[in-house]
Structure formats: C-alpha cells, structure tokens
Chain A
C-alpha cells in the first residue's frame, strides 16, 4: 500500500498530465437580445433599517399563492412578510442555531401551495414555514451524517422548490444540484463540474420552472475574443443560464452579459419567463424560456433577490436601498 501523501501526489500528477492533452473548446452561444421592454416601477415594500419592516441585506424573496411577499434578511437573520398592498404582516427568526433562528438566511422558495422554505446557510439546513409565518419543520439538515455519507460535504448557495414541494439545493462548492422530495429525502444529484451542457462552473443560483425544469445561473466567464468583437453591443463576458429537465438533461442555455464577478439571483414564473439580477451591475433582465431578452432595467442598488408575483409583476430586493421594488414590463421603449 502506498503512503497517503505519495498516493495524493501521484493522483495529482496523473490528472494534470491527462488534462494537458486537451485543447480549449468554445462556450455556449450568447443570445443576441432584441430591444427589451422597460420595467416600470409599480411600488415599494419595506424600508432601510432594522425595525419592523426594515431591510438591511435582503437575500431571499418569494411570493405565496395569496400574493404575500416573504423576504429573508442575511444581516438581521429574520424572515419578514408583507401583503400585496404593502402592509407588514410579521416576522420570524433571530441570530442563533435553535429552532426559528437563522445564521445568514438566503433563498426563500414557495413550497408547493401551502408554505415557504428558507435556506439557512450557516446552520446548513432548510426550514419551512406555513402561510401564516409559523415555523413548520426543519425539512433538510444538510450536514446530517447520513446525508453527508451519501453526498459528501454540501455547501448550499441557493434553494428552489417546485409546485409539489420538491426541493432543489444548489451546491456551489461541488457544482451540482441536490434534489429532495417533499419529505426532505434525497432523491438525486444533478450535474457536476464542467463546461458542457448539464454541467456547471461556479453554480450561483437556481430556480424551478412550472413543470419541474431547473434553471441555473453560473459565475461569469470570458467569451472567446473573436465572438466578443463580433457583437459590439455584447459584453466581453457572460454568465451561463441553463434550462435543464428535471432529470438533468439540458434543454437550452444562454449567456447573461456580465462584466465582473457578480452575485446572481434567479426567478421563473408560470409562463417560463426567467428573471436574472446581477448585484454589482445593478440590473435585472427578463428572458423568455428560450433565452430571448424581453425586458430589462438598470440602476438598481445591489439587487440580491428576485421573485415573480402571481399577477405577473416582478419583485426585486435592493440591498443598497433596503427595499423591495415591484416592477412590470412596459410597452414603451427604454
């Protein structure tokens, strides 16, 4: 038997040699967007601050069937609710690791028709709440020994749920999506590290389309120089958005223009429209299910989360202004 260090070095050398035998391959095709519609403001929820209804670092956003708005805040470690008219309904959570406590809560996802799920990143769990804001259960404990034995360490970065309450957790470290059923049992793992369709490079966020398809966005990558020069209007780098079937088979992919290291948020509505926010660029862009640009808006202050309302409006959480902005596509040109 080889000593461990020698075996490690040997494996490194073998894989390095194998990797050098291959040449670079082009990436996905950047969709040349048509002139997008403008996203007009319809209203604002919340305000900057730490009091009731105050937001500091909104990190997750979802709406339920009754158009209530759920917002998690990574700074104040709480989950707040508003109704569609803007009335503040209540909150849950504080800093800690006990029940009903959070450590950097992130994504919020509508869970079936009867509640929401919240990704509690540093407590490494997914907790669920009913429609009245009452803690329901810890649905998935991501660092449970039995689960880690199956999957290895999980570093959650994003969470999504489908209409049936099945959960999808994006593991940013290993570039994969873990699928759990409505009872919190691991069902399968989708994707792995790689540039090919169905694989991920720097998985950043995830959303679930109506029929269970997955939509993912990855960290930006540079485009090959000749392609970037071919379209002046396009950025020299882009973040890949992929639409995958529930089993992981790729359906479509396109690139979101991005100029720097971004943090992204995703949302998909019932008709398949995909909304993508780029935090440092301050933009939100709406794409059709095929990746065609439908609408866009710039000048947002660190949009950290996005969600669709049942009436078709779009909610964008602006961390820089401590508010939730409600926008809708306008027929007028920007």
Chain B
C-alpha cells in the first residue's frame, strides 16, 4: 500500500505539473496507469513530491513547506529508496533535509511528504487586550499586528537568512609515513593537503587550500608554524567586501605617486559600501623591488641577466613578480608567449614570438628575494566618491625588521660599523679575511700594497670575502665562477666594484602617504594630488637621516565636451607636476625610456622633475584622435628643455597613425650640453577582405649631451607588410623591413653605421582542416660599417595531417630561436692516488685521483637553437585479432649550434650530432615501433627499434657523446582468462665517448643481448601468481667472453581478507663470466644484484583510510646488503 500510495503521489505530481513537483524522467508511465485512477480520487492537497537537484558541496536542502507530517516523508533517487536516519535527516518543523548519503551533483532527489495546509506562523507576537472606551476612536486601540514579532523558541533561527549550518565542503588527504633502512636512520615524512570550498553564510563564499609537504613534525605532531607550510591560500567573498590570505597580489593604482604592484605573503581585506572603499593589507614582502631597462642585442633573444640595485647578478627573482615591457608593450610570460624567465638564476629569455634587436627597448620590473632582513609591508588605501567628487588616501610602509637579519649574526664591531656607516653601503663593510684553508693566498705587489690572489678551490691559506660597493669604487673585480664559487682578481684602486670585506646589509624603511581628489564642474574637471615620502636607508644609524624626506605634488585641469559643429568630442588639459629630489615612490613615475624623448641618455634620472604640460585633443569618432601637447621640463641634474608633440590615430578600414615629436634642451655643467630629439612616424593599414597591406616609416634623431662629445644617434626605418584578409581561409603574411642606424660623435668626427634587413613570413591553415600548416619565420641580416654580416633566425613550423579512413596521422613541430649560454670550463686537478673522487675524465667514481672544478665565465656564447618533434602513426586492423595494430615513427631532436644555423639541423642526423664540433649540444631520438595483432590470444607482437644520440660540447675543454641503439621483440599469449604468457627478446648496443681538449679520449661500447619471459596465472581477483626469468649476455665490444646473467623468481599477489592485499616480488640472479662493465665509469656497481626482493602489504582500514607497509632488499656480492622499508597511513576526507 505504501508503494502504491507513492506511485499515486508521483502521478499526482505529473498531472499537477507544478514546479518542483514532478516525476522522475526515468520512471515508466505505463507502470503507473492502474494506480492513477485511484490516486485521482484520493489526492491530498497537503501531500506532494518535491524534486531537488543536488548541488556540489551542499548538504542541506529546504523543502517548500515546513511542518511536515511525522512519518509522511519518503525520499528516493533514480537508483534506490533512501532510509531515514541513515541516508538523510529531516527537520520536520522547518522542512530541512540534511543529506547523509552520497548524492551526485546534478542528480535528482525526490521527496514525498505531507504537510500542514495552513501552518501556524513560526513567530509569535504579543497581543494586548484593553477594553475599548467609548470616548476613544477605534484607531487608537493597540494593534497587535504592529507589535514587533519575536521568533518562537522552537524556531529561533531566522529561516530565510540562516540555513542549517554553513555549507562547506572539506576535502583533502593526510599522509604519515615512516621510512627506514640499513643505510639510513628512520625518518618521519608527512604531507597534508586540505581544500575548503562553500558558503559560510548566504552570499559569503569561502575557498581555501592548504598544502604542506615534508615538513618536520614537532613532538606534538603538529606543524611548527604557519610559515613552514608550502602553500596557503584563502579567499573570502562577501557582497560588500572580500578578504584574502596567503600568497596574494597587492595592487594600488589610485593617483600617480603612490602606485604599488607587489606579490606578498599576508592578509588583505577590502570593504566597499555607499561610495566608500577601503583596503588594508599586512604582509611579509617576498622581495625588494627593482627595475632594469636596457636595449636589446641584435639577434640575441636571451638570456639577459637581472641584477639587484647594486648590479649583482647573484639574486633570485620572486616568481611571478615581474612586469616586462618591450617598446612599451607589456609582455606575457610563457615560452610560447613572449618570454620565459629563470627565477633562480635571474635571467630572462624572449621567445621567437617577440624578436629582439638593437632597436628593442626592454624594461623589467621585478622583486628579488630578500636575503638580508625579514621585510614587512603594511598598506592602506581608502576612497570615497559620489557624483562629481572623488577623494582618496594611500598610506604604505615597508620596512626591514632590523632585529631579525636572515642568515646573519652581527658582532658588536659590526653594529658599530653599521651605526657609523650612515646611509652608505660602501662604508658598511666588516672584516673579510680569515686565516686558514681557503681559495686565496696573499701577495705583496708594493711596499704598502698587499693583495689576495685566487689560487684554486681550497688551495690557499686565506678565506677571503668580497663586498660589492659599486663600479669604479673598489679594487677587485669578479672574474668567473669556480666550483660554484665566484672568484675575484685585483684590478687596482678604483678599477673594480668590489673590496675585501664582508658586506653588512643596511636595514631600510620606506614610508609614503598620498592624498588626492578630483571634482567635476560640468565640462571642467580639476585634479590635485600630494604625497610625502620618507626613506631611511640605515635604521641602525641616525647619520644622514636629515635627507630622508621628500614631497611631490601635481595639479591638473581638464575641459571636455563638444566643439561647435565639429563631430565627436574635444578637450584641453593643463597640468603641473613637481617631484622633489628626495621623494621616493614605490614604483617608477615615468614610463620606460621616457628620458629619450628629451634627449637625455638612457638611465638618466627623469623621476625627479618640475614639469608643466598643456594639451589639446579631438576625437572625431571612436578610435580616432588628434592630440597636440607642449611640455616644459627641468630636473635637479640641471636639464632644462621643452617638448612639442603631435599625434594622430585614425580607425576604420584604412587605419592610420602619425606622430611628430620635437624637443630641445640643455644640460648644464657639461661641455656639450645641447640635447634633444626629432622624431616622426607614419603608419597606414588597409583592412580589405582579401588583402591587408600595411606600411610603416620612421625617422628618429637624438642628440645626447655629454662631456667628451655631442653624440647624435639617427635611425631611419621603412617596413611593409602584406597579409591576407578575413575572406581568405588561410592566414598569410609577408613582410620586409629596412633599418639604418648611424651614430655620430662630433668631437672625434667619427660615425658608425649599421644596416639591418628583416624578412618576415607567416602562414597558417584553417584550424579545422584535416591537413594543417603553421609557419612563422623571421630572418634579420645586419651589416655594420666594417661590412661584417650577422644574421639571426626565428622560426616555428607546425605540420599536421590525418586520414582517418586509412588510419594515418602525423604531426611535426619545429622551433628555431637564438640564445646564449655562459662559457664553461671543466678542470681536473690531480690530488694524488685515491685522494679524489673523480677519474681522469671527470667521471664521479667515489674514489679516484682527481677533483673536478667547474668554472662558469660571465662571457656568453651565442648560438642558434632548433628543436624538432615529429610523430607519424598508421593504425590498422578491423578484426578482433588485428584491431589496434599500429606502426609508429617518432623523431625528437634538438641542436644548439654556435654561429648560424644550418637547414639540416632541423632534422638532425645522428652522424652530425656525433661528429660536428660546432654543435654545442645535440640530441636525437629515432624510434620505430609496431604492434601487431594485439587482440590475438596466441601471438600478440610488439617490436621496437630505437636510437638515442646525445652530444654535449658546451664545455670549452670537454666533450661527451653517447649513442644507444635498442631493439626488442615481444610476444604475448593469452590462452585463457586466467593465464598470460609474455616473452621479449632484446638487443642493446651502447657507445660512449669522452674527449678532453688535451687530447685524451675515452671510448667504450657495450653490447647486450637477452630475453625475458613471464608466465602469469590469475584464477581470480584474490590471487595472482607469476614466474619470471631473464637471460642476458653483456660484453664490451671486442671482448669475446660475455657476462652471463640469469634472473629468476616469482611474483605473488593475493588478497588478505576483504580489505587487504599482499605482494611479493623476488629475484635471484646467477652471474658467470667476467664482471659486468658500465658504459661510463660510475660509483654505482654494474650488473644485477644477486638477491632483489620487494614485499608490500596494503590494508584499507576504513572507507577513507589506508595503511601500507613495504620493504625492499638488495644484495650484491662483496657489498653490504641494502634493506629499506616504509610504513604509511593515508587518510582521505
């Protein structure tokens, strides 16, 4: 009866068709027909079926009715009926269903229930009774409806706003493992991964992750502190605010003087309401900010080294903190995008999508990791805006915690030195010479001059430290990196950037406060901003503190509106800005290379200035603008000048761009003080349906003030492009450009000319075509005044094709770039018989006669790089036996050639890789593999022939090549469901050569032949038995007798109870003949272990918890037996 009633209810829902009450689509209506007649007569309006669609992370759902009749509820899904108390709980009063069983998001839950048709209110109101007097109007009687309603005790929660608990989904894993072994102490390892996502309250969403790997545990079993966690990230979003905790970006973009863009670790909160916005952040700064701007090198995509403020390259860039622009355009990180960056070594390399030349203006803003003190950052920004008025305030403080130096301990003498150093880092140098084993010996070069000379790694009698104090201020220079340490050489007083001593870092603080606002009066808008900063460069010293403060301010007025009969809008703007010499902002105020517009040399200080601007503009239509402006500038360094600028941008099918700039100025205090710039530029592009032609012409002449000679740089450039239009399915482009650069110095009357021609070609087929081509190439050929020619190539080629009917497919990718690498030297030092760790070729053998010293020079070798990847496949066979058969060919190669690339490098042959000395590095993989009749029960075959060649000549005095050829043929049989047999025969031929510049040569070839077979019997899921045998013959080429190895042993895997599983893999090797030889001498023994065993036991303790115990044993003759194990508990939640 109960079932029949439910069916009746279901049908009632169908017939009623009301929202939220219906029948599941998977129920067959025919089955319900007999019950329908009965149900139509006995339908209870107080009963029905509610359909709930499950949402990810939600555990509580509210029914449309409260006061559910006790026992009337029945829940089911398409799969089964749910059990009250086990699968769900129902709050009958409020109609809340709390889900206990697994409910898939998107799955429908049906709830049949009966409820009160006229439920009492869930709140009560106190009613007053007072007899109505005859002289009182009726309206004066107390109205119980106006009395504040209070919730009933049993429904104390606000139903609409406080659902039954937060809907948070917490998932993750905790792993604790103990590792032990004969060659190691027992070690505890753990990991924690936790993710929280869901709603804390209506409209308040929380997302958070926490990850902790390999962190040592305290005695209490907890992680030591939050900072030792690998990654914590929490985001809280509410209708009127948000908060973040963890690795967060911090961006202040109001005003001009207090802009800030940092990546920090800390907390940030934001609120906004009724026109007010406020944001507060407290964080630990991950690094110190720096900005580098430099001009590219023709044909060199990178790497370009990034430095700290003192010019040192020994820094680590904070990952993700960089902002890179080339010629004013912001770049995107990614090897396939614009650039890649090596954060550890602070080097940036541009991709072939962004060609770099001597005309490229590159700017990199970044943070480098703090290595001196823990650095804190606190920032507040607030704003208010309503209608035409805006106000804002920014306050930022960044300071080193001088009481917590990183990796340093100060002596009393050091603190005195710091206190006396003032703001000068050059004076904060402690003692740097320690007698004892070191890399240096002393040498007296004059009566009063004792210098220290690098004599080799740990070969001297003094340990000497060097401090960088700036170019031209020291008497030592860095020369190379030897065995991982930088070596220094004496270059005379003022000839270098280093002095002997230990650099004592100065703790700094930087404060900035900015106020600003704007007001609009019709077409007129006024803006004002003022800022003050204080930067103390040495918190240990009060000296020089009087120069720490600075101020800046600006005013501007803008008039904007329609201008009589002219179309569009027009405007005028005037402004003035002053930035004092001592003012320090958190980011640069001027755009990169703006100093060139005034004739100032690249790198000149343009941040501090007094400047007035006036501009007129007219926008006849969207995207088109004519702008004219005039500026006057003076800087604290003595520059005074004016600039006139006009620019037109026109949008449409014929888009145009024209620019004219003229500036004149004088730099006082230098002999040739006249400076300025004359520049014009014209561009046009016609966007046709079939063709899109474009031309570009530019003239630029810069006069730079200097003491020795007035330098004039002149650039003339013309480029043309022809591309396909939107009506052409292929994307095609061809371009040609010519650039001439002339550098003149009046005093010497000398001139240097350079001409560069650029060819560009692009083609890309429609992406959905069965055969696809993508081609992009750029060649730049440069000639200098001496007629020397250099060329650089950037290219990428992508080919793909497919013929489904024949089972054919293939792809090929080629990428060409120009890069550079530090010169490296590999030096072997004889240290006596058995006293070193290396052999005569620099192979690590544990006990040898040599030590190896690697020296990395600061000089770069330029090379062209090409990488190729090709893959072709033929899949065939339709019958059960042959289906899945395939033949595949794979080619992967990479060549780095010193000098210009050759066309043959794109598909590098193994012979060239092995023999061509101009290849710095080369690698080739050729593989042909096939699988025949994989569905056969008696003969499924797989064959593979593979050759790998690698050559490394990146060291100037050492080269190594390896050549590995492998062939294998496997046969599989599956005679029954319980039994499989597999046999594989193999041949390996390997050759390695090592060559020293002195002429010594190592050459060894190893030939190995063998076969292995395995027989598996698996009667069911509970048991798997296997027997394996491996027979191998290995010998150096030319040696008659081979090392013979037979390995045999069982594999056993079996169920232990309902939740456990045990495995054992055991191998015994029988070796005869001469000892096995390794291809390259190594500390590791060659050949197979005599006993090799692995055992493992897994047990699921609970639905969410597993336990694993494993152990390994390896035994070789004349060597200690190695035993290791691991016990692990993993909990998923």
Q: Which residues of A contact B (CB under 8 A)?
A: 1, 4-5, 7-8, 11-12, 14-16, 18-27, 34-35, 37, 48-50, 52, 56-57, 65-66, 74-78, 90-97, 99-101, 103-104, 112-115, 122, 130-132, 134, 145, 162-166, 173, 181-183, 187-188, 192-199, 201-202, 210-212, 219-222, 237, 245-250, 260-261, 269-273, 280, 288, 292, 294-295, 301, 310-312, 320-322, 328-329, 331-333
Contact = CB atoms under 8 A, between A and B. Distances in A.
Top 4 nearest A-B pairs by Cβ distance?
A: A312-B105, A25-B977, A247-B1098, A164-B173
A92 B320 CA distance: 12
B485 to A, nearest CB: 23
Interface string B1011-1034: 101111011110010100101110
A19 B938 contact: yes
A220 B877 CA distance: 13
B102 interface: yes
A273 B1015 contact: no
A140 B1009 CA distance: 29
B1044 to A, nearest CB: 5
A272 B57 CA distance: 14
B972 A114 contact: no
Interface stretch (B34-42, B193-201, B372-380, B828-836): B193-201
Contact of A162 (B78, B173, B1019): B173
Contacts of A101: 335, 867
A5 B183 CA distance: 40
Contacts of B1015: 15, 18
B976 A24 contact: yes
Q: From A49, A246, A301, name the one whose CB has the most chain B CB atoms within 10 angstroms.
A: A246
Interface stretch (B9-17, B435-443, B1100-1108): B1100-1108
Contact of B892 (A8, A56, A122): A122
A179 to B, nearest CB: 10
A137 B1018 CA distance: 39
B235 A66 contact: yes
Given A163-B1132, A164-B175, A23 B335 contact: no
A198 B1016 contact: no
B980 A194 contact: yes
A75 B1053 contact: no
A164 B106 CA distance: 26
Contacts of B1031: 4, 7-8, 11
8 contacts: A113-B172, A131-B231, A162-B173, A165-B191, A182-B175, A188-B1108, A196-B1021, A322-B767
A119 B197 CA distance: 27
B482 to A, nearest CB: 24
Contacts of B1132: 162-164, 210-212
Interface in B102-125: 102-108
B937 interface: yes
B231 A271 contact: no
B1021 A249 contact: yes
Contacts of B1106: 212, 246-247
Contacts of A197: 1020-1021
B1018 A198 contact: yes
A222 B336 contact: no
Given A18-B975, A188-B1110, A95 B813 contact: yes
B973 A16 contact: yes
B337 A91 contact: yes
Given A22-B976, A163-B173, A246 B1024 contact: no
Contacts of A76: 336, 798, 813
Contacts of A261: 807, 875, 877, 883-884
A27 B1029 CA distance: 29
B233 interface: yes
Given A91-B337, A220-B883, A310-B56, A196 B1018 contact: yes
Nearest to A2: B1031
Contacts of B1018: 194, 196, 198-199
A91 B26 CA distance: 44
Interface in B889-935: 890, 892, 894, 923, 925, 934-935
B213 interface: yes
Given A1-B1044, A65-B197, A193-B972, A247 B978 contact: no
A25 to B, nearest CB: 3
B1024 A20 contact: no
B589 interface: no
Contacts of B637: none
A133 B76 CA distance: 43
B195 A65 contact: yes
B768 A48 contact: yes
B1024 A8 contact: no
Interface of B: 25-26, 53-57, 78-79, 102-108, 169, 171-175, 177, 189, 191, 193-195, 197, 207, 209-211, 213-214, 230-231, 233, 235, 247, 319-320, 332-337, 340, 342-343, 351, 764, 767-768, 772, 774, 798, 800, 804, 807, 811, 813-815, 867-869, 871, 875, 877-878, 880, 883-884, 890, 892, 894, 923, 925, 934-935, 937-938, 942, 971-983, 985, 1009-1011, 1013-1016, 1018-1021, 1024, 1026, 1029, 1031-1033, 1044, 1053, 1055, 1060-1061, 1063, 1072, 1084, 1096, 1098-1100, 1103-1104, 1106, 1108, 1110, 1126, 1128, 1130, 1132
B867 A246 contact: no
B330 to A, nearest CB: 13
Nearest to A271: B104
A78 B923 contact: no
A75 B197 CA distance: 34
Given A52-B332, A249-B1021, A222 B191 contact: no
Contacts of B191: 112, 164-165, 182
B1071 to A, nearest CB: 11
Contact of A94 (B103, B351, B1061): B351
B102 to A, nearest CB: 6
B211 A112 contact: yes
A311 B1055 CA distance: 37
A132 B246 CA distance: 12
Given A19-B974, A94-B336, A122-B925, 18 more contacts: A12-B983, A14-B1013, A18-B981, A19-B937, A23-B976, A52-B332, A75-B800, A95-B867, A95-B869, A112-B191, A165-B173, A187-B1108, A196-B1018, A198-B1018, A247-B1099, A249-B1021, A261-B807, A301-B768
Given A164-B191, A182-B191, A331-B53, A246 B1100 contact: yes
Contacts of B1032: 4
Contacts of B878: 260
Contacts of B1016: 192-194, 199
A76 to B, nearest CB: 6
Contacts of B813: 75-77, 95
A21 B1015 CA distance: 13
A183 B247 CA distance: 23
A196 B1128 CA distance: 28
Given A210-B171, A211-B1132, A183 B214 contact: yes
A104 B1061 contact: no
A118 to B, nearest CB: 14
B510 to A, nearest CB: 26
Contact of B1100 (A12, A132, A245, A331): A245
A271 B867 CA distance: 43
Contact of B768 (A19, A66, A212, A321): A321
B177 A114 contact: no
Contacts of B233: 66, 114, 131
Given A134-B320, A288-B104, A93 B1061 contact: no
A100 B335 contact: yes
B980 A199 contact: yes
Contacts of B1060: 247
A75 B627 CA distance: 45
A271 B103 contact: yes
Contacts of A173: 942
A19 B108 contact: no
